[in-house]
Copies of this chain bind each other. A is one copy, B any other.
Amino acid sequence: MTFFLEVIGTIAFAFAGALVAIDNDLDLFGIECMAVMTACGGGMTRDIILGNTPPMMFRNPVYVTMAVVTGFLTVTIYNKFIQSRYKDRILDMISILDAIGLAIFTIVGMDLAMQLGYTGAFLICAMGVLTAVGGGLLRDVMVNVKPVILTKEVYATASMIGSVFYYFTLQTAIPAVVTTIIALVIIFGLRMWTIIKHINLPVVEKKQQI
């Protein structure tokens, strides 16, 4: 089940990465690189920070392979996709898959940190958020786009709220499976709700300088 959700997340992230790459006129290698980095970069960064080397993505290349295949598919269907009358509907679907990825990678990242024996609340929650949003951050930094997760929308914040909930509820008597499902629903729900309602995080309104 986790594996199935991870596959969905990987494909959604890889697709998003490939789209950004194509928008930025990268070549085929660049597109594949961005698909892989978006899908696996968060986990890679987490593993490096935890000293869990070499990172998973290099030891078990199944996710990298999925990302590469997704990259090729994106290249193949891009023009059909962009001209399709279903374009907006497909993009909506991608948003949903991406929100699923956000939720599942947060929980997977936290579980992995706990499996490695770490206990600090901050470390574990940070590893969850990093696993979920690190790939998108790396992707944007690599093509010199101002990172989406730093500028708008409730993205990392949804992951963060869910991670704090998950961490503290795990300490209670509530069965882990229930906790996991609620945490996933919180992250996914917050993300989708703020997309639908166009809710963004506050920015500082700059008054005219005098």
Number of copies: 3
**Chain B residue with the shortest CB-CB distance to A153:** B27
**Chain B residue with the shortest CB-CB distance to A208:** B83
Is A122 touching B61 in the complex (CB atoms < 8 A)? yes
**Which of B33, B75, B141, B201 is A27 in contact with, Cβ under 8 Å?**
B201
User: B residues within 8 A CB of A25?
Assistant: 151, 203
Is B123 touching A54 in the complex (CB atoms < 8 A)? yes
User: B residues within 8 A CB of A55?
Assistant: 49
Is B203 touching A26 in the complex (CB atoms < 8 A)? yes
Q: How far is the CA of A163 from the CA of B68 in the complex (A)?
A: 18
Q: How far is the CA of A146 from the CA of B24 in the complex (A)?
A: 9
Asked if A175 is at the interface (CB within 8 A of a chain B CB), the reply is: no
Is A22 touching B122 in the complex (CB atoms < 8 A)? no
Q: Interface digits, A122-161 against B, CB 8 Å rule (1 contact, 0 not)?
A: 1100100000000001000111111101111001110000
Chain A residues with CB under 8 Å of chain B are: 21-22, 24-31, 33-34, 44, 48-51, 53-55, 58-59, 61, 64, 75, 78-79, 82-83, 118, 120, 122-123, 126, 137, 141-147, 149-152, 155-157, 200-207, 209-210
Instruction: Please name the 6 residue pairs, one residue from A and one from B, whose CB atoms are nearest each other, closest first.
Output: A51-B53, A30-B150, A27-B201, A61-B122, A58-B123, A28-B201
Other 12 A-B pairs with CB < 8 A, given A30-B149, A49-B53, A79-B204: A24-B146, A27-B151, A30-B150, A30-B151, A51-B54, A54-B118, A61-B120, A83-B207, A141-B141, A142-B147, A143-B146, A143-B147
